[in-house]
Structure 1
Amino acid sequence: MTTEMIISDMTICEPSSAMSRNQTDDKWYMVDYETDDGMEGTMIYADTRCEVPQIKMPVDLDGWYKIYVGINYTRVPGDGPKAGIRIKLSEDKDFTVFGPEPIFRHAAGHYPNKMGTEKVMWNSVYEVYWKSAQISQDSLLIAPNRNSRSDQWGVSNISWVRFVEMSDDEIHNHKIDFPTESTKCLAAEYCQGDVTGATNGNDMFHPTDDGYITEKIEPFRDTDFNLLLWECIRGDMCAFNSKIGRVSENGSVWNPEWIDPLEVAVDYAHDCGMEIYVSMRMVGSGYPFKLSPIQQNNYYYDNREYTLKDETGRRSSVLSVAYPNIREHWVELLREAVGYGADGVHLCFNRSAPFVLYEEPVRDTFVQQYGEDPVDLDYEDERWLRHRSGFVTEFLRDIRKMLDQESTTLGKRLGLAVTFYHKPYPLYNAMDLKSWIDENLVDYLIPHWVHIAQDDPAAIVSQFTALTENTDVKLLPDIYPRTPPGEKYAEAAKLMYDAGADGFAFWSAEMRTTRASEWAVVKRLGHKDELNRYSKEAPKFWRSVNLKELDGVITRYSHNDG
């Protein structure tokens, strides 16, 4: 008979001095609760803007257990739930970060919102499966979520932890789920907008603690992920101590108190058993031209004569790789980042594309070759598409040459991965995949995006397998949306493997790792033979439990939206 233990009374955590029945900035706030199904306990909250200490929960168990965590997301300013909790077993190398799991953006309308309406959300505890582990008189360390900027604060909570003893079959399956060389075929495309500042105008953030970076990478340890595509160049804004790009709001001024995020990321990714590629978004400026921080792109404004141009010669917000000096600028930024000990380069050609239009070098050379002005042709004239794509291919040749040079210095071959729009088709955006493959320029092709709820995933993959089969190039479809239920990930993966996918990539991986119930499936998607099992297990990784009473008031007739 399966046994379980639920720790619902957080007052057992130590030190007791770190908790209070009063709302105090530097302590966990203890709140009694009762659920509709009769469970009683004391949960704790912490304001992430405050310096609230870590606490330790003793766990008096011995054996193999599945671990579930219950979290209440209370209301804070802004849209939707925020924060969550950070926890780790005492032998874990770093914390696991938990966050809310609402359905949003490209998933809206395709999947039910499992967190429910606001009224339901604030009055519920959401229990998620964390992991399976062998425990021996262990302890659980608990900490509030980190805050990178004031507009991202929230209230951390832990309501209970449930330990369910594992059967022999479950232990056997858990051991099967450990990664092997053949299952490590997943790639994480990791956005660092919280450090560089996002394109909506957020300021930069400069961490001073390695843990801010290592906690981002820890979720990939002992998983099927072998490749971390780590964004560190966004336009001229660099998330490392660059001597070429901007590193702060003041340009090139680097504060010695800051950690170097790229240095920490390279070391920690290798410690987690992954390769790390430095990732670059070729952002110029943007509209409506906010000045902080991304759009305040000094290099772009100093070189506006080298932007894309439309048929009439009007300028774009994107720099054109038709110009050798622009290509050289991007290549030297990448060279500088690769020098940190990275294993390759990742290009985000799914953002800011196309990178070549009607600029003078492109238009003039077309006229020389064909005797026609391309502005008089249909945009999709194949001669024009292939001519434009030649400049992008030349850019990849420049990068491949740089990588080969740096390979000699670093003593290892450096790879190249490209994420590209597959709609309406790559050549439309001046991307000649066949030439890239024939010239051995790329190692990974990542078609973006494959929306598993509205597209035909197998059909999309089949478009590209004809190019990559019998080559060394790996095809990693980029699974979208960011928030499907775990069973939908597994079902789609099976279809795409059958169509010839070599593995998968995940754009905005930072949004996925904190969604624990879904991540429990995603991190194992390299196990092709276990996908049917994962589809069956996934619905059990999440449940919502309604609160009957919280902090001495009944939830049914109480309000927090007054």
Structure 2
Amino acid sequence: MDREDESLYFLDMTACEPGDAFSTEFEKGKWTAVEYAMAQGPGKMVFCGPDTQASPIRLKLGVKGWHHVFVGTYRNPHYPDSCLLLRLSGDAGYTRAVTEDFRPGKDLVAPEMLPKQTDLCEAYWRSADLTGQDVIFHRPAAGQMAETITNIAYLRLTPLSAAEQARAERDRTDTRRLIANYDSGQHDMWSYGTDQEMADEFQALAQSDFKMVLWGCAGSFATFYPSRVGSEMRWSFGLPGYMRLGWQAVDRYRRHGFDPLRAAVRRAHEVGVEVYAQVRMIGEQLPPNHRGYVGPGDFQMQHPEFRCLTREGHRTRHLSQAFPEVRAKYVDLFREWVEDYGADGVCIIFCRSWPYVLYEGPVVRSFQERHGVDMRGLDRFDERVLSHRAGYVTALLQETRHMLDEVGAKVGRRLGTCYVVPADRKAADAPDMGPFTGPKSHGMDVETWVREGLVDHLVVHVEGVGRPDASDRVGIFRSYAELCRGTGVQVYADLYPRRQSGDSMRVRAMACYEAGVDGLCFWDSHRRAQRLSGWAMHRVLGHREDLGAPEMERFAKGLFRVVPMTSLDGFMIQEENCLPSDG
């Protein structure tokens, strides 16, 4: 940031209104104030918890013009989750902000970004014209995040330079090449029950480089909305953790008469983002989660005859696409999304939930007719076996494309397809079969999908971190980019890891674009979007041509910092003997 030395700090959060919202004790309806100090001076941070039912508080800024806004928070290590809601008074919804933490060895982050228990974390939130604006703070109302601690320690405002303001005010549409993947976890995280809560969700995508959201709304035929085709998600009763949260999420939207999918489509369109409703073809989980855990729904449980079968004839936990009834049921579900809900397309997650076809009766018989041999006696990676299995998955995509064209003709626009494929997760013991070994080994023929025009957006999912500069990933992405060149299919690199510094993202994004991809996708965006500094970088990664510029590097490196405190709740916190030693 160009004018760091002109920063204005708001250190005393008890200056927020109303003045009677605060106490030094933990009381119902109150925020708890705690004194602290850092190099810039003394202040008062405030906390509230799940049972306090504290009301929103408002900080009057009294400034004019464009400023960068930074948020300082504190996280007691005994409470690993913390979540703050904040918005400018003119915003349509809240931004959700967790205190950002990193995992050395797993995340790509500089050592100086790792906070200690004596530190505050400062994260860049946004740049905005603050004339006449206040900041409003609140805490989550429902879901997993409602069980967290909420804290705000300070705000820092830094005026923009003329060059920064010119960039901030520029309205660009040529950078919209990003996809956010919300893979179903958002439902139990927030337990949506109101339209405003869904508006909060899509606040993260407004005025950004994102053009599309993949909205997870089904695990096989179990849905996170009141479907007429599938059955509503049922979670195993009486179990803790996600099971309880899942039950509460369904119960809450029912009690509120709320349809999460309908609201998601509407709110996404309001911020100018397309919605592709998304399914993960999940099977039953291991006990005690086997009766209901993100799927698979009544249809699967009622039709054991449609299961994938092992070579020996044992039933698996997954339905087979070899059965026309299974494919037809999926196409009906997809039709509901685009015809009844107005989704812009359909997405299937193919980087999870295998197998899709194995050795079912129709598969074995048709293979025998075509090749004159029992496929069960062949190596499972025999080219003929893999091609035959893949043909049934291709049939699902052909039938999906036919339905989308039919509905699209009625509504007067093309409805799209997006498929997420596993580039680096091949089946166990699979040999090297070329650049598309990952999907091929699981019975998917991506080359045919592209050749037949069955996919519009192809997300190449690479999970491992690899080298920090992503140079070891370039070859993978380049293979897919070359496959799709000149076909109209857009290729996206799924950028990992989920947690990394802003500059790491910038460097890795440049490597992906260098490989020839059209854009980037981000798995678990519903979690990433809560990390203020990280998400600030995500939002601009569509600026492909600008990522190598010095000003973008400065921006990326200035998004997050650790700020040591000198005292906390009256104790000199940097003194070893002034810290708790009780374990």
Q: By the TM > 0.5 criterion, same fold? A: yes
Q: Find the residue that maps to 1:480 and give its secondary structure.
A: coil
**More deviation, 281-290/391-400:** 281-290
Q: Find the residue that maps to 2:29 and give its secondary structure.
A: coil
Q: Who is 2:106 aligned against?
A: 108
Cα distance, 1:316 vs. partner?
1.2
Q: Who is 2:68 aligned against?
A: 66
Q: Structure 1, residues 439-484: CA drift from partner, whole Å, max 9, x if none?
A: 2111000111254534622111111122110111100111111112
Alignment of 1:37-436 (within 5 A): 37=39, 39-76=41-78, 81-104=80-103, 108=106, 110-112=108-110, 116=114, 120-121=116-117, 123-149=118-144, 153-176=147-170, 178-180=171-173, 182-195=174-187, 206-247=191-232, 249=234, 255=254, 257-290=256-289, 291-294=291-294, 297-338=297-338, 339-423=340-424, 424=426, 425=437, 426-436=439-449
Distance in 1 of aligned mates of 2:417 and 2:296:
29
Q: Structure 1, residues 126-180: CA drift from partner, whole Å, max 9, x if none?
A: 000111111213211111234404x86121111000001111122233345x431
> Structure 1's 560 and 135: CA in aligned 2 closer, same or farther, altered over 3 A?
farther
Distance in 1 of aligned mates of 2:60 and 2:101:
31
> Structure 1's 168 and 145: CA in aligned 2 closer, same or farther, altered over 3 A?
same
Q: Find the residue that maps to 1:407 and give its secondary structure.
A: helix
Q: Find the residue that maps to 1:53 and give its secondary structure.
A: coil
CA contact (8 A) 1:452 1:492 kept: no
CA contact (8 A) 1:179 1:223 kept: no
Q: Find the residue that maps to 1:136 and give its secondary structure.
A: coil
The answer for unaligned runs of 5 or more in structure 2 is 236-246, 427-436
Q: Structure 1, residues 370-391: CA drift from partner, whole Å, max 9, x if none?
A: 1112222222211111111110
The amino acid of 1:544's aligned partner reads V
CA contact (8 A) 1:207 1:258 kept: no
TM-score normalized by the length of structure 2: 0.88
Distance in 2 of aligned mates of 1:188 and 1:147:
23
Q: 2:456 aligns with which of 432, 440, 443?
A: 443
Q: Who is 1:558 aligned against?
A: 579
The amino acid of 1:462's aligned partner reads R
TM-score normalized by the length of structure 1: 0.91
Cα distance, 1:415 vs. partner?
0.3
> Structure 1's 458 and 21: CA in aligned 2 closer, same or farther, altered over 3 A?
same
* Percent identity of paired positions between Structure 1 and Structure 2: 30
> Structure 1's 6 and 110: CA in aligned 2 closer, same or farther, altered over 3 A?
closer
The amino acid of 2:540's aligned partner reads R
Distance in 1 of aligned mates of 2:76 and 2:418:
41
Cα distance, 1:113 vs. partner?
6.3
CA contact (8 A) 1:420 1:447 kept: yes
Q: Find the residue that maps to 1:255 and give its secondary structure.
A: helix
Distance in 2 of aligned mates of 1:289 and 1:109:
31
**More deviation, 293-302/442-451:** 293-302
The answer for unaligned runs of 5 or more in structure 1 is 199-204
Cα distance, 1:215 vs. partner?
1.5
CA contact (8 A) 1:488 1:535 kept: no
Q: Find the residue that maps to 1:92 and give its secondary structure.
A: coil
CA contact (8 A) 2:83 2:151 kept: yes
The amino acid of 1:516's aligned partner reads L
CA contact (8 A) 2:186 2:526 kept: no
Q: 1:473 aligns with which of 483, 489, 495?
A: 489
Distance in 2 of aligned mates of 1:560 and 1:145:
32
CA contact (8 A) 1:102 1:114 kept: no
> Structure 1's 514 and 32: CA in aligned 2 closer, same or farther, altered over 3 A?
same
Q: Find the residue that maps to 1:214 and give its secondary structure.
A: helix
Cα distance, 1:414 vs. partner?
0.6
**More deviation, 249-258/320-329:** 249-258
Distance in 2 of aligned mates of 1:502 and 1:459:
15
Q: Who is 1:201 aligned against?
A: none
Aligned residue pair count: 544
CA contact (8 A) 2:107 2:499 kept: no
1:495 lines up with 2:516 in the alignment: no
